[in-house]
Chain A
């Protein structure tokens, strides 16, 4: 069965390319543009992995990690994928259970897909 990946990204052009590429890589891809949607989709579908942007229109990505209570969902891995980066954000995301923190502008969809495979392999 295909692994489920939730892409949480409000910038439509990015959301579409990642959805397209990850579908091609064989994942079942769900998308969300807000923190609220991301939490409800995650609760319903229990994705294997969430690709999480930090700047969302209704709340920050950290809020998703808190609301979804990631640590209570060991079945779900999170890769933070954001253009916002600082040691503090990195640390906070890690403490809330995120597996990786990637700077968006430095990764192509293919490279992201590689990191997803790596994280899911260690699950």
Chain B
């Protein structure tokens, strides 16, 4: 080919390629390079460019495909998030979610209304922005707040009914439950649900007041019956025939049972309305236990039972001696009642660390495994106990547990049906005013 012709050829070939490259440069890979069969340098170059364009097209198609998939995923997540928010928004309870440092990332409308801070001013703030007080009106420190506990321990936490929110100077009781948000093992935040329990508390208070008053009204006529019957029994009205005496004794003990029942109900009502105050003093638990065993001894002897007492002298603790005495009387008299004639009852007092342990052990009828967990609930009685003694109130153990817990102690029960039971009361030697574990 002559030089002139070759130049023309080269020019023509390049001109063919220029628009294709120009469009590729702006991202348009739609044009194909015309291929030929000249088998010269340009043919190879054109084939190479075409190969590159096709490779780019394939990659672009793949990227488009991935983008579409990602978009679909984002849409799905967006939908999930919207449903979650709609769910949390319409839950009817006040919800707050925080990140791992306690900064608020979500609040629903109920929370906004409860706390009366605009939505946009809450987001991004620390949850400390909500003012929380305890029953006595003291601010609850951050480390005892429900969300902080969920964040720091990774466990669910519920405040009970002793938290108060303070909003524009107004105080109202709330029940806050917080749960950690975990991704794998890592705590990435926490979520809390707060419920205004003003109405529940009011209903509870009214209920307790009613029971309290009703119990008083019931005690007076029952006291009058007791007095009248004892006038007869004590011989103020002259000597009675043995069968008259026997009938009167029955009436007297039935009435006394009713009085005990009223007393128990009254104590439960007082407990519920927190009127059962503790009168704390430092007392010898050994002496207290000794006294109770002494008092209960006649009942045990009547049933030909033996009571063994092991109490090293002067084991002291700060307790309400009347209330703890009530607990011990209850445990020892239960042991006597629910142990057959001739049985053995052992009471032991010991000290362990900062605690005094009082064990009341019997070889009586025991409690069925499926009933054990109910034994400390109100009005709960073991089915075998009901058969032996119809007259129990089912309140004694509930009261015992409540009183021991008011002392920040514990009461434990282990039992084997037909073999006996062991009740263990654990009391701290020193009474502490505020229960750190609560709220």
Chain A hits for B233, CB < 8 A: 108
Top 5 A-B pairs ranked by shortest CB distance?
A108-B230, A13-B224, A17-B227, A87-B279, A110-B234
Contact assessment for B277 and A88 in the assembled complex, using a CB-CB cutoff below 8 Å = yes
Q: What 6 new A-B contacts, CB under 8 Å, besides A20-B231, A88-B277, A108-B227?
A: A11-B220, A21-B236, A55-B216, A105-B223, A108-B233, A109-B227
Contact assessment for A108 and B234 in the assembled complex, using a CB-CB cutoff below 8 Å = yes
Contact assessment for B223 and A83 in the assembled complex, using a CB-CB cutoff below 8 Å = yes
Within 8 Å of chain B (Cβ to Cβ): is A64? Answer: no
Chain B hits for A105, CB < 8 A: 219, 222-223, 226, 259, 262-263
Give the interface residue-count category, chain A. Answer: 10 to 19
Query: Interface 1/0s, chain A 74-104, versus B by CB < 8 A?
Result: 0000000001101110000000000000001
Chain A hits for B262, CB < 8 A: 105
Max chain B Cβ within 10 angstroms of own Cβ: one of A20, A24, A83: A83
Within 8 Å of chain A (Cβ to Cβ): is B182? Answer: no
Q: Which residues of A are at the interface with B, using a C-beta cutoff of 8 A?
A: 11, 13-14, 17-18, 20-21, 24, 55, 83-84, 86-88, 104-105, 108-110
Contact assessment for B231 and A83 in the assembled complex, using a CB-CB cutoff below 8 Å = no
Q: Which of A18, A83, A86, A87 contacts B227 (CB 8 A)?
A: A18
Chain B hits for A87, CB < 8 A: 277, 279
Could you pull out 20 A-B pairs where Cβ atoms are within 8 angstroms?
Answer: A13-B227, A14-B227, A17-B224, A20-B236, A21-B231, A24-B236, A83-B216, A83-B219, A83-B223, A84-B216, A88-B277, A104-B223, A105-B219, A105-B223, A105-B259, A105-B263, A108-B227, A109-B230, A109-B231, A109-B234
Distance in Å: Cβ of B324 to nearest Cβ of chain A: 14
Give the interface residue-count category, chain B. Answer: 20 to 34
Contact assessment for A14 and B224 in the assembled complex, using a CB-CB cutoff below 8 Å = yes
Name the CB-closest residue of B to A12: B224
CA distance A14 to B229 in the complex (A): 11
Name the CB-closest residue of B to A113: B234
Chain A hits for B279, CB < 8 A: 87
Contact assessment for B259 and A13 in the assembled complex, using a CB-CB cutoff below 8 Å = no
Chain B hits for A83, CB < 8 A: 216, 219-220, 223
Chain B hits for A110, CB < 8 A: 230, 234, 236
Name the CB-closest residue of A to B217: A83
CA distance A24 to B228 in the complex (A): 14
Within 8 Å of chain A (Cβ to Cβ): is B119? Answer: no
Query: Interface 1/0s, chain B 256-280, versus A by CB < 8 A?
Result: 0001001100000000000101010
Query: Interface 1/0s, chain B 205-223, versus A by CB < 8 A?
Result: 0000000000010011111
Q: Which residues of B are at the interface with A, using a C-beta cutoff of 8 A?
A: 216, 219-224, 226-228, 230-231, 233-234, 236, 259, 262-263, 275, 277, 279
CA distance A31 to B223 in the complex (A): 18
The DSSP consensus for interface residues of chain A is helix
Distance in Å: Cβ of A25 to nearest Cβ of chain B: 9
Contact assessment for A11 and B224 in the assembled complex, using a CB-CB cutoff below 8 Å = yes
The DSSP consensus for interface residues of chain B is helix
Q: Which of A13, A86, A88 contacts B221 (CB 8 A)?
A: A13
Max chain B Cβ within 10 angstroms of own Cβ: one of A87, A105, A108: A105
Name the CB-closest residue of A to B225: A13
| Known contacts A105-B226, A105-B259, A17 near B231 by CB under 8 Å | yes
Chain A hits for B277, CB < 8 A: 86-88
Name the CB-closest residue of A to B237: A20
Chain B hits for A24, CB < 8 A: 236
CA distance A24 to B224 in the complex (A): 18
Name the CB-closest residue of B to A83: B219
CA distance A88 to B279 in the complex (A): 9
CA distance A108 to B235 in the complex (A): 12
CA distance A115 to B263 in the complex (A): 22
Chain B hits for A55, CB < 8 A: 216
Chain A hits for B226, CB < 8 A: 105, 108
Distance in Å: Cβ of B276 to nearest Cβ of chain A: 9
CA distance A1 to B227 in the complex (A): 27
Distance in Å: Cβ of B319 to nearest Cβ of chain A: 13
Contact assessment for B236 and A109 in the assembled complex, using a CB-CB cutoff below 8 Å = yes
CA distance A24 to B238 in the complex (A): 11
CA distance A21 to B235 in the complex (A): 10
| Known contacts A83-B220, A105-B263, A17 near B234 by CB under 8 Å | no
Q: Which of B216, B223, B263, B275 contacts A14 (CB 8 A)?
A: B223
Chain B hits for A108, CB < 8 A: 226-227, 230, 233-234
